[in-house]
Amino acid sequence: MPETPTDAVAHIPPLQGISIARAGDDAVKEIARQDELARAGHFGGLHTLPGGPDDARLGVLVEEVGEVARELNEMRWRLNPNRDDLYGELIQTAASAIAWAAAILEGR
């Protein structure tokens, strides 16, 4: 008799809408923060997210993913790892991806 497939994620509760909304709000705030910094002359005066070419945007996104990886690696060696730093890096990564997607929607 064939085995009945099991749901591999049935035991994992879905993410709560309020948590998803908060993370999304934090990413939107991060986009505004990065834009403000760029307009103040940071990032070498070049803000690639709203108007740069896709290859420059990819470089920004990959750099942010690298910072997530670095933070995870550093967390392994801390006695009391703080997930707030990881959250911050993930928000910066999400902000980069959302800003790139929004720029595409605006035809930039």
Which pLDDT score is estimated for 44?
Answer: 59
Q: Which residue has the higher pLDDT, 59 or 23?
A: 23
Which pLDDT score is estimated for 95?
Answer: 93
Answer whether 23's CB lies under 8 Å from 94's CB: yes
Which pLDDT score is estimated for 38?
Answer: 81
Average pLDDT over the chain, rounded to an integer: 86
Which pLDDT score is estimated for 28?
Answer: 95
Which pLDDT score is estimated for 77?
Answer: 87
Q: What is the pLDDT of residues 46-93, one digit of tens each?
A: 556 667 788 888 888 999 999 999 999 999 888 778 899 999 999 999
> In angstroms, what CA-CA distances link 49 with 10, 37, 82, 84, 103?
38, 12, 29, 24, 7
The share of the chain scoring above pLDDT 90, in percent, equals 49
pTM of the predicted protein model: 0.83
